[in-house]
Amino acid sequence: MIALLLLCFVTNHGFLLDGSTPLPKTGTIMTDSHFSMLLNLLVEERNSREQLEKIVKQHQLETANIAEKLSNCNCNKHGENVNKTSNKTSQIEDKLEVLQQNVHSLQIANADMELKQVIAENASRYFETSIAGLKQLQSFSDLLAK
């Protein structure tokens, strides 16, 4: 914005700050030179305004093009990131399901092993009592044999 104002200031020769123009006295009639100078200033101002409008329109178009390219760029990257994240999420969910199935299988195997351990302990106690009984019978048969 400041650059545009500076451009207008330079192209219009200081916005009529030129001190070389003689000031008309009150009651004097405007001369042809004053009229032509005024017309020239108006034409210069109009040309400068048209140039400025062209520059502003060009900058607006460039800004719109850059914004459009930037939005397309971000959307594509965002879409790619979403797709990658979705793929990774589904892979992780699949792995989690497999791990849960493995944990469930291990829990069943553990319960089966605990049951077998209880059965083995019961059998061991049975055998221990049977052996103790046999020892008693053996000592009793030894007593009878004597």
Residues of the chain with pLDDT under 70: 1-28, 74-79, 146
User: Which distant-in-sequence residues (6+ apart) come within 8 Å of 41 by Cβ?
Assistant: 16
| Cα-to-chain-centroid distance, residue 71 | 13
pLDDT of residue 42: 93
d(CA 39, CA 5): 22
pLDDT of residue 144: 74
**Residues 52/4, Cβ–Cβ less than 8 Å:** yes
Q: What is the DSSP letter of 14?
A: T
pLDDT tens profile 120-132: 999 999 999 999 8
pLDDT of residue 107: 94
- Predicted TM-score (pTM) above 0.85: no
pLDDT tens profile 104-120: 999 999 999 999 999 99
